[in-house]
Amino acid sequence: MKATIYDVAREAGVSIATVSKVINAKGKISAERRNQIFAIMQRLQYQPSAIATALTSKQTYTLGLLIPDIANPFFAEVARAVEDRGHQFGYSVIICSTDNKDERVERYMNVLKQKRVDGIIIGTGFDNQTMLEDMSSSLPIVVIGREVSSLQVATVVADDYMGGCLAAEHLLTLGHKQIAVLTESLLISSSRERLRGFRETLGRAGLTLLESNIVSCRNGLEDGKARMIELFRGEERPSALFCFNDLLAVGALQAAKESSIEVPSALSIVSFDNTLLASVTSPSLTSIAQPMDQLGESAVDLLLGQITHGHDAKQRILLRTELIVRQSTAAVQSTSTL
C-alpha cells in the first residue's frame, strides 16, 4: 500500500510529529535528521496525503472556477490564466461549465462546498441572486466579467463602457453614420455597459443609435447569423456593425458573405473580446480586446488575498480594454447604401 507518515517515521526511528515538521519546514530539525528523513521519503515514494492535510489544516489548495463553458475560447483563455496563476501558488482548479443554467450552477456550488475548496471564481451568470449571497457568506468569492450591484463582492471586470466608446470612436473616425449593434442578452451588465459607451459616444457626435438597429440574440454564432441576415434584408442597411463578442461577429461575417455584402468595403464590423477567433477569420476582425490573462490572474490574486490574508475589503479591479484594428473595418463608401 501507499506509504504513510507512520511508515517514514518508523523507518527513521522518529515520531510522526518530527516527520510532519520536516515536510512542512516547520520547527527546528537538525540538518542530518532532515536529510535522512528526506531520503527515506524518497525511497518509500512517500507522497503526503493532501486529504489528511486538508482535514486538519482546513485548506484544500483547490479553487473552483465557474464559467458558462470551457469550450468557449474566451473562457478557455481565462481558465488557462487562472490555472497558471493558481498553480504558481500551489492551488489546483476544478472547472465547472454551467451553461448559465441555475440548476447546473447550484449542483456545482454544492460539489465545491462539499469538497471544501478554498475559494471560487465566478464567471457565469445566473438568475438566482440568493445563491450568490449564500456563497459569498460561506467562502471567499470573486466575480469576473460582470458587476454585482446587489452585493459586496470582490470583482474584476474589463472596462466595458470604455470598450463601447472605443468601438464607436473607431467607426466614427471611419465616417460611419448608419450603425447597428449585435448584442448578447442585455440582462448581463457587461452588455449594457458596452451599449451605453457605444451609444453615448455616438451621441456626442450627434448620431443616435436607432432602437431597430439594436439586435439582441441569445444563442451565439448561428442565432447571430440568422438575425443579421434579416437585418441585411432591410431597407436601410447599416454600413457598420458592432458585435458584442467574437462568436457573434463570426456569425455576422457569415451572414454578410451569404448576403453578398463585402466586408469591409460594404460593411465594417467591430467585434469584442479579441479571442483567437478574431485573428483567424477572413477578413480578420477588428476587435475590442479584453485582457483575458489579466482577468484570470487578477481574479486569483484577489481570491488568494481573501484566503491567505483574510482581506475582506471587497476590491474591484477595472482592466483596460483596447482597440485592435484588423481587416474588418474600413472607411465608409459613399455608395454603400442606396
Residues that bind its own copies (CB under 8 A): 2, 47-52, 54-55, 60, 62, 69-73, 76-77, 79-80, 83-84, 87, 92-97, 107-108, 110-111, 113-116, 138, 250, 253, 257, 276-277, 280-283
Which CB atom, from 213 or from 275, has the smaller least distance to its own copies?
275
Residue the block writes with cell 510522526: 16
Question: What DSSP line would sit under 241-298, residue for residue?
Answer: EEESSHHHHHHHHHHHHHTT--TTTT-EEEEEE--HHHHHSSSPPEEEE--HHHHHHH
Min dist. Cβ of residue 209 to DNA (A): 54
Residues 6+ apart with CB under 8 A from 157: 144, 145, 146, 147, 190, 316, 317, 318, 319
- Are the C-beta atoms of 240 and 179 separated by less than 8 Å? yes
Which CB atom, from 16 or from 229, has the smaller least distance to DNA?
16
Residue 276: contacted member of its own copies, DNA, none (CB under 5 to 8 Å, by partner type): its own copies
How far apart (Å, rounded) are the C-alpha atoms in residues 76 and 91?
18
- Stated as kind and residue range, the H or E segment containing 62 is strand 62-67
- Stated as kind and residue range, the H or E segment containing 183 is strand 179-183
Residue 33: contacted member of its own copies, DNA, none (CB under 5 to 8 Å, by partner type): DNA
Residue 96: contacted member of DNA, its own copies, none (CB under 5 to 8 Å, by partner type): its own copies
Residues 6+ apart with CB under 8 A from 258: 229
Min dist. Cβ of residue 304 to DNA (A): 17
Min dist. Cβ of residue 63 to its own copies (A): 10
Residue 28: contacted member of DNA, its own copies, none (CB under 5 to 8 Å, by partner type): DNA
Which CB atom, from 25 or from 71, has the smaller least distance to its own copies?
71
The phi-psi region of residue 308 (left if phi > 0; otherwise alpha if psi is between -120 and 50; otherwise beta) is alpha
Min dist. Cβ of residue 25 to DNA (A): 10
Min dist. Cβ of residue 113 to DNA (A): 11
Residue 338: contacted member of DNA, its own copies, none (CB under 5 to 8 Å, by partner type): none
Residue 264, preceding peptide bond in cis (omega within 30° of 0): yes
How far apart (Å, rounded) are the C-alpha atoms in residues 223 and 178?
22
Residue 277: contacted member of DNA, its own copies, none (CB under 5 to 8 Å, by partner type): its own copies
Residue numbers at the binding site for DNA (CB under 7 A):
1-2, 4-6, 13-18, 20-21, 23-24, 26-30, 33, 46, 48-49, 51-53, 55-57
How far apart (Å, rounded) are the C-alpha atoms in residues 43 and 21?
19
Residue 20: contacted member of DNA, its own copies, none (CB under 5 to 8 Å, by partner type): DNA
Which CB atom, from 55 or from 276, has the smaller least distance to DNA?
55
